[in-house]
Amino acid sequence: MQPNTFDLFADHEPEQRPRAEQIGEQSWLLHGFALPLIEQILPALDTILAAAPLRHMVTPGGFSMSVGTSSCGALGWITDRYGYRYSGVDPLSHLPWPPMPEVFAALAHSAAAQAGFADFNADSCLINRYVPGAKMSLHQDKDEKAYIAPIVSLSLGLPAMFLFGGFNRSDKSQRIALLHGDMVVWGGVDRLRFHGVLPIKQGRHPRLGEQRINLTFRVAG
């Protein structure tokens, strides 16, 4: 399915268009990019989470992740004691993951295009929910079959401090504040950069309460 390509900000004056901040050679932070679609995104997310509830997955090393995880789209990222991988079925229900809502596909396609990656058609959307204190250790996204397509991330709810590193775990990371509606796209030469999230600070977001939700769109299969 080819999502509609559209300009979310067609009606905006140039100075009101969201700010795109380059954070790597082929990496961009798109401030507030998803805000025009937020009232379509949140109910779509609720529908997904009713069918495929968030759960704390276990790493191959036996640790329970601090984030609650679910997915939508043809493939969902999972981890258990046998490893990290993508699966076409939700291991909790043994059913296919909920379909990718059209608004998600269109948003991710549009953000990728804005960052210079044409024809991005995600087949996977990983949903991570962070409560205050939850974090994501530095890692590379490398469970996908190929690395040609970028990673497209959407942040909702409480702010996060995103770590955007280099190609070795020990490389110094940039610290990038991610707010409700912000999107980050990294691909091409930056596709395998290490990244992570510092523990989320206590707080209450007016729309989402005491949580941060991150959606990561990928071409996995």
- What is the distance between the alpha carbons of residues 53 and 48, in angstroms, rounded to a whole number? 8
Give 8-11's long-range contacts (Cβ < 8 A, gap of 24+): 8/33, 8/36, 8/37, 8/107, 8/110, 9/36
Q: Kindly tell me which of 141 and 144 has the beta carbon lying closer to Fe ion.
A: 141
**CB 20, min distance to ligand SIN, A:** 18
Picked from Fe ion, ligand SIN, none, the partner binding residue 153 (CB below 5 to 8 A depending on kind) is ligand SIN
**CB 32, min distance to ligand SIN, A:** 16
Show Cβ contacts of residue 149 under 8 Å, excluding neighbours closer than 6 positions. Answer: 112, 117, 120, 122, 187, 218, 219
Show Cβ contacts of residue 95 under 8 Å, excluding neighbours closer than 6 positions. Answer: 89
- What is the distance between the alpha carbons of residues 159 and 210, in angstroms, rounded to a whole number? 10
Picked from Fe ion, ligand SIN, none, the partner binding residue 190 (CB below 5 to 8 A depending on kind) is none
Q: Which residue is nearest to ligand SIN (CB)?
A: 214
Size (the chain), residues: 221
**CB 108, min distance to Fe ion, A:** 15
Q: Kindly tell me which of 79 and 121 has the beta carbon lying closer to ligand SIN.
A: 79
CB 189 within 8 A of CB 26: yes
Give me the phi and psi of 5, to 5 degrees please: -95, 130
Beta pairing partners, 212: 130, 157
- Residues in touch with ligand SIN (CB under 6 A): 128, 136, 153, 155, 160, 162, 195, 197, 214, 216
Picked from Fe ion, ligand SIN, none, the partner binding residue 110 (CB below 5 to 8 A depending on kind) is none
- What is the distance between the alpha carbons of residues 5 and 8, in angstroms, rounded to a whole number? 9
Residue 141 touching Fe ion (CB under 5 A): yes
Q: Kindly tell me which of 8 and 30 has the beta carbon lying closer to Fe ion.
A: 30
**Of the ranges 1-9, 90-98, 137-145, 164-172, which one interacts with Fe ion (CB under 5 A)?**
137-145
Residue 144 touching Fe ion (CB under 5 A): no
Picked from ligand SIN, Fe ion, none, the partner binding residue 214 (CB below 5 to 8 A depending on kind) is ligand SIN
Instruction: Give how many residues touch Fe ion by CB under 5 A.
Output: 1
Q: What residues line the site for Fe ion (CB under 5 A)? A: 141
